[in-house]
Amino acid sequence: MSSTRLSPDLWVAAGFEALISQGPTALKAEPLARRLKTTKGSFYWHFKDVHAFHAAMMDQWEHRAINDLEAGSAHDLPPAQKLRHLSQITSGQVTDSVSGAVLEPSIRAWAHDNADVAAAVERVDQARLSHLQSTLSENGLSNPELARILYAANLGMADLSRRDGEVNDAALGTLVDLILALYD
């Protein structure tokens, strides 16, 4: 067993890795303890129960997703560039092991069977759509369906990235350019 003291963040990171590689059934104390080569007692030292652990995972994911939006909106860019930038971060086109394009499809799949996860996904979706709509408005585009189209493309690209390992920044950029050209 590990003698390293594990933090809640390390447990949550291990949870994200387990979710990606094995799905939500791996998000229990015993399989996670085996993954981290420690005891279940360490898990329960940090989390009251598995439900509290799941809540910590979703809090971290939601916080990260909202922070990414705010960081993307804080850039002092011309409106068209801001839209391109926001369309890239909306679904987290980052491909490290516990964020972005790799994690997003796993979170969304888990949301089908877990109401708390579904609620977090809904909050993130609404925040992302709102940011996209606002940025589209800055570009003189008021049709709310455009935000949904861009967001749906982002989500689909995240799933494709997970499956084929490709980063789809160029494809998303092309879609933004097409939308801007159509309404120019």
Higher pLDDT, 68 or 50: 50
What is the dihedral sign for C-alpha 112, 93, 179, 129? positive
Burial letters 11-48, b for 16+ CB under 10 A, else e? bbbbbbbbbbeeebebbbbeebbebbebeeebbeebbe
pLDDT number for residue 95: 44
Q: Are 157 and 171 in contact (CB under 8 A)?
A: yes
CA distances from 139 to 23, 50, 115, 169, 181 (A): 40, 45, 36, 20, 11
The answer, yes or no, to whether residue 75 has pLDDT greater than 80, is: no
Q: What is the pLDDT of residues 115-162, one digit of tens each?
A: 999 999 999 999 999 999 999 999 999 898 999 999 999 888 877 877
pLDDT number for residue 45: 95
The answer, yes or no, to whether residue 3 has pLDDT greater than 80, is: no
Q: Are 100 and 93 in contact (CB under 8 A)?
A: yes
Q: Are 157 and 91 in contact (CB under 8 A)?
A: yes
pLDDT number for residue 78: 86
Nearest to 136 by CA among 127, 123, 126, 145: 145
pLDDT band at 11 (very low <50, low <70, confident <90, very high): very high
Q: Identity (one letter) of the amino acid at 8?
A: P
* Cα 136 from Cα 140, distance rounded (Å): 7
The answer, yes or no, to whether residue 96 has pLDDT greater than 60, is: no
The answer, yes or no, to whether residue 105 has pLDDT greater than 80, is: yes
The answer, yes or no, to whether residue 60 has pLDDT greater than 50, is: yes
pLDDT number for residue 94: 47
What's the mean pLDDT in 172-177? Answer: 89
Q: Identity (one letter) of the amino acid at 171?
A: A
